[in-house]
Structure 1
Amino acid sequence: MPEVAIIGTRGYPSYYGGFETAVRQLAPSLAEAGWDVTVYGRPGQERSDDPDLDPRVARRTTRGLETRSLSTLTYGLTATLDVLRRRPDAVLVMNCANGYWLPLLRLAGIPAVVNVDGLEWERAKWGRLARTVFWWGARMTARWGTELVFDAEAIGRYWRRELGRDGAVIPYGGTELGPLPLHDDDADLHGVPFALLVARFVPENTVPEFLAAARRIGERHPVVIVGSTGYGGDLDEQARALADEHPRVRWLGHVSDDARLLALWQHAGAYFHGHSVGGTNPALVQAMHCGAPVVARDTVYNREVLADTGARLVQPEPAAIADAVTDLLEDPAAQRALRTAVRARAASAYDWPSVCAAYERLLAEVSGHRVRELAAVS
């Protein structure tokens, strides 16, 4: 049985972000396809009571520094050192910041497939030092990674142009769902066209502009805001003040209840997606699977994902956001058409079985193992 180790996430199963979402799907799928799978994580991040926990997936934790700038690097190093001792047939590395440790894997003869993530060195949330770390990690990844994975065609074009490396384009997937009832706390929104934002509170997600737009949208329609900075700060205070001031605006903060979040996407009259840096965004893909009528910030990444669905694309300006969202909330026919179009686009291009199969083929190729074709895993 071929062995694969996955490093660079908070663990399995974890619900922190896009990498963790992918690993929740990928790890059991690889096990189903005949791989011995080990996922490396951080102490205290795994959920042992998760009903979807696959017992075939081994979990290992290593130590690191829990700081904003050094956690990825230090946990990546300790996981890599453990991998060198255990010597699996292949390693799947999430995040090009771990590129610093790829020479160790190369010298040991262990092939590494690297999901490079987005262009982290362009994110406003990072300081100059962190952006420099990400940039040089990308350079190291380009030099030492066995195979690279880009989650969008646009990311691949950037790496070919700026870093001289090609790779495989494997996006994120999403899950098709049946109808979900709204959470009891949101039941008053049933049948009411409401605007929805789901985002981590960082500037590059267009959160400040949406909060300003929500004042106008809230004059005529309910607005639901999901997300936070995670540590408090100005944007959290702005969201709290807005919700206190406007009876139609509610701020839920971080929502850990997946069913509640999925139901909000299903019932929203307009979902604003403001992410501007990165490739295929997992939240956008899942919103599309839920049939959320999308208004998105006009970026090359969002255009690629939304394609010809007819989703509204806008500039990151409060007035433009407010106008587009309000127009969509007041056009039931447009909402119905968008729901159908984004569901069809998600089903054809962003489903987890095909995403997992693409990873499995790449890992089999770099490791020299031929395992049976990946079965669809729900």
Structure 2
Amino acid sequence: MKLRIAILGTRGIPNYYGGFEHISEYVSAGLVKRGHSVTVYNSHNHPYNQESWNGVQIRHCYDPEYLIGTAGQFVYDMNCFLDARKQNFDVVLIMGYTSSSVWGQLYPKNSTIITNMDGMEWKRSKYSKPVQKFLKYAEKLAVQYSQYYVADSRVIKSYLKDKYNINCRYIPYGADLYTDMEREQCEPEQALKEDYFLLMARMEPENNIEAILEGFNQSNSDKSFKVLGDTGNRFGKFITNKFANDERIQFKGAIFDTPKVRALQNNSYLYFHGHSVGGTNPSLLEAMASEALIAAHNNPFNKSVLNTDAFYFSNAAEVTHLVENVQRNDPERNMVMNNLHKIQYQFNWEQVIDQYEEFIVESYKHKNYETIIADQR
């Protein structure tokens, strides 16, 4: 069965922004290869301004975020839905709900609506109490107006079952294995083997950056600590100022050169993953695929992916202990290899695309079967 599928809720492809754009890029191109007609909605401000990409049709919609800030995301999503209503898509896949579920009454009436329910966005400490309250409401609307649901984490799937009594299909993110070509693209002086610790994250409180760097700052390590991420926001400026006197801590800014990032992950002595909110995190999968030894914040999201194949921390003191005591011997090498095995067999993009296709076709058939039955009554 070949379907007309639209993907909404992202800034667009190819990915210049984040996780949903990343997965939309892979899934849309993969579905086209499997014979489906796929359209992805892009912001009119997206750097890519062509009408197709790798066989995927691109529809550009007006996005005033650059003029009016966050409120512009809501206007952009509204514009996407208004356009999608005219296109007669069989299936509309909505990535997230933060600024889209308020337009639930505008969802295309004859399309099968599937929503990727994202993480528990209302838990993010960067948001004020009123915003957190709104995000809980937006989550409820997404459940109300969607017909089928995807969760990228088993923890999220369980939460949504308990909270709303809905059955989500668990489909994780994917990651590409670290290739010999990528290894060769990074100059040796850019990533000296195992002489540094590494952290890569958005500068936000819930990513536990302060606790990680505090723990390192209090350690007696003679290694450096490289921090990848844009430090231009308020929290980023606070962090750089707080640790400015520790010459071992190096703020490298945001790096979008994938081979370089993956080489840095691969060559790090220990990679710290501090994310504590949300589902399966793409940067964690990429670190696993890059054969990094990982220390992760101790929470159900990270544990559901890493299991026993990582070190865990909950505070700065535990980070200090890891920095001063983690070795790189056979047990640690086994942890790295076990995580690589997970990428090969659980978080592999081809398998992820297969699961999306299976669920999309299944949802379309189920919805249309129910419609036929209802019409016959």
TM-score (norm 1): 0.89
Verify the 8 A CA contact 2:205 2:235 in the aligned structure 1.
Answer: no
Q: Which residue of 2 aligns with 1:350?
A: 347
Q: 1:45 to 1:17 in 2, by over 3 A?
A: same
Query: Deviation per CA, 1:265-306, whole angstroms, max 9, x where unpaired?
Result: 111110011100011111101110111101001100111000
Q: Which residue of 2 aligns with 1:87?
A: 88
Matched letter for residue 138 of structure 2: G
C-alpha separation between the residues in 2 aligned to 1:129 and 1:82? Answer: 31
Find the partner of 1:367 among 344, 361, 364.
Answer: 364
SS in 2 for 1:195: strand
Q: Which residue of 1 aligns with 2:275?
A: 275
Verify the 8 A CA contact 2:45 2:63 in the aligned structure 1.
Answer: no
Correspondence list, 1:205-354, <5 A: 205-217=207-219, 219-229=221-231, 231-239=232-240, 242=243, 244-309=244-309, 311-315=310-314, 317-328=315-326, 330-354=327-351
Verify the 8 A CA contact 1:5 1:37 in the aligned structure 2.
Answer: yes
Verify the 8 A CA contact 2:221 2:323 in the aligned structure 1.
Answer: no
Cα deviation for residue 48 of structure 1 reads 5.7
Correspondence list, 1:94-243, <5 A: 94-97=95-98, 98-105=100-107, 108-179=109-180, 180-181=183-184, 183-184=186-187, 187=189, 189-217=191-219, 219-229=221-231, 231-239=232-240, 242=243
Query: Deviation per CA, 1:225-275, whole angstroms, max 9, x where unpaired?
Result: 11135x432433432663x53333211111111111111111111001110
Matched letter for residue 88 of structure 1: F
Q: 1:71 to 1:361 in 2, by over 3 A?
A: farther
Identity of counterpart residues, as a percentage?
25
Verify the 8 A CA contact 1:69 1:130 in the aligned structure 2.
Answer: no
Verify the 8 A CA contact 1:4 1:88 in the aligned structure 2.
Answer: yes
Q: 1:189 to 1:86 in 2, by over 3 A?
A: closer
Out of 86-95 and 133-142, give the one that drifted further: 133-142
SS in 2 for 1:59: strand
Q: Which residue of 2 aligns with 1:3?
A: 4
Cα deviation for residue 308 of structure 1 reads 3.3
C-alpha separation between the residues in 2 aligned to 1:234 and 1:57? Answer: 37
Matched letter for residue 364 of structure 2: S
SS in 2 for 1:223: strand
Matched letter for residue 118 of structure 1: G
Cα deviation for residue 333 of structure 1 reads 3.5
SS in 2 for 1:245: coil
TM-score (norm 2): 0.89
Q: 1:83 to 1:56 in 2, by over 3 A?
A: same
